[in-house]
Amino acid sequence: MRRLLVGAFGHPKFADIAVEFCTEAAVLIFVFPILDTVVQFGTKKVTLRLGLGSVGLAILLLFIAGTIRGRAKEKE
């Protein structure tokens, strides 16, 4: 099991894949919860909690992407 995990996550391209995933997920999370709420229920259902949650999670994912990228550059 350990060998499988090290083989998958230790692959040189894994950092690139993880960074791309995190940045794309950040964009989707930043845009779609609010947009979907507006389309389904109108602007009155868009709450501060929804907005801050979307923005906060997007920033967290961008931070994770930057951290992964920085560590990958250190190993090179």
Domain borders along the chain are: 2-75
pTM for the predicted model, two decimal places: 0.82
Q: Which two tokens stand for residue 22?
A: 């995190």
DSSP H or E stretch at residue 37: helix 14-41
Residue 8's pLDDT band (boundaries 50, 70, 90)?
confident
Q: What is the pLDDT of residue 11?
A: 75
The pLDDT, as a whole number, for residue 1 is: 76
The two tokens of residue 16 are 């690139």
pLDDT digits (tens, 9 = 90+) for 24-73: 999 999 999 999 999 999 999 999 999 999 999 999 999 999 999 988 77
Where is average pLDDT lowest: 2-6, 12-16, 41-45? 2-6
Q: Could you give the C-alpha distances from 65 to 11, 22, 44, 53, 71, in angstroms and in order?
A: 17, 6, 33, 18, 10
Other beta carbons less than 10 A from residue 34's beta carbon: 19
